[in-house]
Amino acid sequence: MLKIAATLYMLGIIIPAFSQSNKMDFEQYDPVSTLVVPEHKLTKAKYPFIDVHNHQWNMGNGSLDGLIKDMDSLNLQVMVNLSGGNGNRLKQMIDNVNTQYPKRFIVFANINFDNVGAPGWTEKAVQQLEADVRNGANGLKIFKNLGFSVNDVSGKRVTIDDPRLDAIWEKCGQLKIPVLIHTADPAPFWQPMDEHNERWLELKTHPGRKRSDTDPAPWQTLINEQHNMFKKHPNTTFIAAHFGWYANDLAKLDSLLTALPNVVVEFGAVIAELGRQPRAAKAFFTKYQDRILFGKDSWVPSEYATYFRVLETEDEYFPYHKKYHAFWRMYGMGLPDDILKKVYYKNALRIVPGIDKSQFPED
């Protein structure tokens, strides 16, 4: 009898009944918490805020009324659109903003990395940036393609600290505009995709995000290139996007910020890292209260609630909005008002030029 059952099992015939009672997919498991504690679900920030990490690809024409309505509902006073591009596209975007809501949007320029290494490439890139700033750009955004996929004319990967880019970073310092830079991705994308990987679900649902030491380079190499570039340009302010991918190692980020006074950070897409270590995160926010900016990245208005709740409340064991970023629950930091104001708007007002201060509380 046992032998027959074992054979049927091997053939896959009696697996369903057995597995339903003993095994379940990780993706399927979604227990309802029985914990009863006070809940403060926030749909609006306590203070008007500046989101320094947003992407709007089609701001060049059309009405911005719908966007403003969503922003108002969150208390999002100023949105920094990092996807300004350059040249005519950027100018058209800024013109459209200025005729409708000049105080509500800031636009960052982007570099065209085609043909790095061609004669005169650096000079042209610097000239374009100067023209973009004259046209109203208030910062420069560097996407992760630098380090990942930008190659020079000979087909070689352009490193983030490539000397051919130095003049661009120096120019940003002279123009007093910040450089917001996203380098690499979460380190687990480089690690084996197995049961030990915290980002297993994200790699399963987004297979294109998997990286390796040769695709295109080890994680640490890319991060070191970024830090080296920060070090080479002490007169330029850099905003390291996504906490520089060290939100899960705040001691490391602490030593980095101590060594590099020209660097500040924003927490787009890493709020779940802070929410799982509320005590350490609060200590970090207290120490670096002048060097943390509010960033979100993907424009999904309903998701901002998670950010407000981690920053403002002392709620316990509440969920994040995407299981593939965080299968764990989170805790609020309960930041005091003076730190909240810095993170929500004061730090951005100091670092990003061109924002009308009259839209924010005076003290």
Q: Which residues bind Zn ion (CB under 5 A)?
A: 297
Q: CA separation (Å) from 136 to 25, 51, 80, 170, 210?
A: 51, 18, 13, 19, 37
Residue 181: CB minimum distance to Zn ion, A: 10
Q: Using the structure block, give the residue that is written with the tokens 């966007």.
A: 67
Residue 274: alpha-carbon gap to chain centroid = 13
CB nearer to Zn ion: give 225 or 297. 297
CB nearer to Zn ion: give 46 or 55. 55
Residue 264: CB minimum distance to Zn ion, A: 16
CB nearer to Zn ion: give 51 or 297. 297
Residue 147: CB minimum distance to Zn ion, A: 14
| Tokens describing residue 207 | 């297979």
DSSP run (H or E) holding 263: strand 263-266
* DSSP labels, 35-72: --------SS-SS-EEEEEE--S--SSS--HHHHHHHH
CB nearer to Zn ion: give 267 or 331. 267
CB nearer to Zn ion: give 297 or 315. 297
Residue 152: CB minimum distance to Zn ion, A: 24
Residue 163: CB minimum distance to Zn ion, A: 26
Residue 109: alpha-carbon gap to chain centroid = 17
CB nearer to Zn ion: give 77 or 83. 83
DSSP reduced 3-state for 109: strand
CA 197 to CA 209: how far, in whole Å? 14
Residue nearest Zn ion (C-beta atom): 297
Residue 105: CB minimum distance to Zn ion, A: 16
CA 239 to CA 250: how far, in whole Å? 16
Residue 182: CB minimum distance to Zn ion, A: 6
- Helices marked H in the chain: 2-10, 15-22, 65-74, 87-100, 121-134, 145-148, 166-175, 200-205, 219-232, 250-259, 271-275, 278-287, 304-312, 337-341, 347-351
CB nearer to Zn ion: give 185 or 297. 297
